[in-house]
Chain A
Amino acid sequence: MELFQVQPVLLQYRTILVYGTDQGSIYICEEMRKKGIIPTAYLQEEAIHQIDSDIPVWDKNQIEDISAACVVFPFWNKKIFEDIGKMGLKHIFVYGTFYQTNLILENEMKDISVLPFFQINEEVKKRDIVIYGVGEVGHRLFMELLNYEVRVKYFCDSNADFIGLKLMNKPILSMEDLKRRKDSCNVIIGSVDYADEIEKQLLENGIENIYQYNG
């Protein structure tokens, strides 16, 4: 199961624009397509720079129905967001890093709503959350969830050196401890390189409520 989901409100828009035509914007388009979301157009200040893509490049004058349009940004820029808000658009979604998510969640805009592109899958919050893995990815995942104000209850790791210690004030469990709690926990795999191996190990131990975090 995926930990992050596309913001449901974005899916309600008929016209989804991606701001800019540089590498970041093209990357977002490709990622959106993988998730079955087809952007309507790239948006530029002046649509003079065409790119080799089946997705057209528009300027703001080409947006037929402003109220049915939203913009996806590959970066945070409060000034540009405010300008977009003055055009009459209601939503901006930022496809960003942890740092940008932090900016989004801490800043309120006057005329427009700015949201992270992804939201946390609500199902994951329905049980105690355990992060499997206390390495770099596990650390990063913990901070990401903190950003979204999601409580992590435990960590878990296979390394016996860590069992019984605390990471960010949360106890680190062994697999046996986790097994005992399997019905009350959702486990998020806090590793990219060993994700498949860990998933297999969890399933072998009867733990099925597993979420993937792609780092």
Chain B
Amino acid sequence: MMSYANLNYLLRDHKNGFYFVIWGVGGRERKLCRTLSLLDVPVKYFINTDEKNECKEIYGIPVCTVYDLLYEKEQQKMQILCFGRGENTICLLESVGIDVVRQLKDAEFYQPAVHNDVSFLLDPILGYVKPSYYKGICGLSGYGIEDAEITIVTLGGSTTDDMQWSIKSWSQILQERAVKEGKSVRIICAGVAGYNIYQELNQLIRDVLVLDPDIVIDYSGANQCGNGVLEGYPNIHDYQKMLFERLRVANKSSFYIGNLVSEVNYGAKSKGTLFDNYQLMTDIMYSICKNWGIAFVSYFQPVLAYKDKFAPDEKEKILNSGTIPLKKNKVYNQYKQFQADYEKSEKREYQTNLSHLFDDKNVYFTDVHVIEEGNQILADAIWKDLKSRRVIL
């Protein structure tokens, strides 16, 4: 069954006028239809791709063929829900002119900005890394020409990661903005979903310095608190913990490395606050970059919890997000404390506070992720800041 979050996204699209077509007529598809019915979300029809199956209707809902999609008058408002985005499905839909990226949604992982099926690679230092390569280095993607005058590397978590969603990342938009202003800029996006500041630091040391960038931008803060952080160990993200716990369990039953692997070690327990740790890591990143002659800028990112006022439909969005309800809870309080600690800390010259960037905008679709319009606003703000710092002339 779809998770809470994914059902929530689907409901949001339903509210925004999208209608749904289910691809397939099997047990899972019928269960999905029943689930949507319980949520008062109608299904327009099923698509039957099995010529031998003469099913004409399911639960009173018509069963059509893929060619019936050709006659859809409002294709741009249609969402096709499909389990697993198999090659055959995609080929068939493309053959009838359906914009697959915008309209085909994997029913199990339904996301408003088409969440892409990303399978991460294991990494002994970072835990895992996204499966994209730039200049032979895994976890990176590039925008712009290789011999551009200025090379910028962007670091961060899922709000920077350009593989998670089908919308343009702020890294890509920033590069386009630079080109529009006549600058020769190449941007290498090193953002990976779930990365916290400690992984970004390690990425900088191992994978970024070799690229010889002119500027390193770190856009972070969201993964330093909330549900992402292992209590007492702010440099361990929950995804890493999940990964290693599974490896530990798998080790017991499936492979043998002698006595080397029996438990998981998370290192020294942190003594300071979440913010103290964050500040320490960014200071180290700044020192490393300075030592290498690289300009370093750190942006303290905005999250939904930092907003004091919400637009009327935003309140409902927050309530349904399930992650930070309007009622105060532990996660919400952690974020607020983190922000308060940042704002009262001694400011570093390399830092810029963007935590209020979206205060009067309605761009969030989760507690931290924003729609493409949000990425546009962010890229604009970063561009202006880089110019005011004279990092870009």
Contact = CB atoms under 8 A, between A and B. Distances in A.
B1 A168 contact: no
Interface stretch (A59-67, A119-127, A146-154): A146-154
A152 B254 CA distance: 44
B326 A162 contact: yes
B39 interface: yes
Given A106-B31, A139-B4, A165 B325 contact: no
A6 B364 CA distance: 42
B333 interface: no
Contact of B11 (A135, A136, A149, A169): A169
A179 interface: no
A135 B325 contact: yes
Interface size class of A (residues with CB under 8 A): 20 to 34
A26 interface: no
Interface residues of B, number: 25
Contact of B327 (A102, A146, A159, A167): A159
Interface string A129-173: 000001110010001001101111000000101100111111000
Contacts of A168: 7-8, 11, 39, 320
A143 B1 CA distance: 10
Main SS at interface, chain B: helix
A165 B4 contact: no
Contacts of A136: 322, 325, 329
A146 B320 contact: no
Contact of A143 (B4, B14, B15, B329): B4
B39 A169 contact: yes
Contacts of B4: 139, 143
Interface in B6-46: 7-8, 11, 14-15, 27-28, 31, 34-35, 38-41
Given A143-B4, A168-B7, A135 B327 contact: yes
B316 A165 contact: yes
23 contacts: A106-B1, A106-B27, A135-B327, A135-B329, A139-B322, A146-B1, A146-B7, A146-B35, A146-B38, A150-B38, A151-B38, A152-B38, A161-B315, A162-B319, A165-B315, A165-B319, A167-B319, A167-B320, A168-B8, A168-B320, A169-B15, A169-B39, A169-B41
Interface of B: 1, 4, 7-8, 11, 14-15, 27-28, 31, 34-35, 38-41, 315-316, 319-320, 322, 325-327, 329
Given A169-B11, A169-B14, 16 more contacts: A106-B1, A106-B28, A135-B325, A136-B322, A136-B329, A139-B322, A146-B39, A147-B1, A151-B38, A165-B316, A167-B319, A167-B320, A168-B7, A168-B8, A169-B39, A169-B40
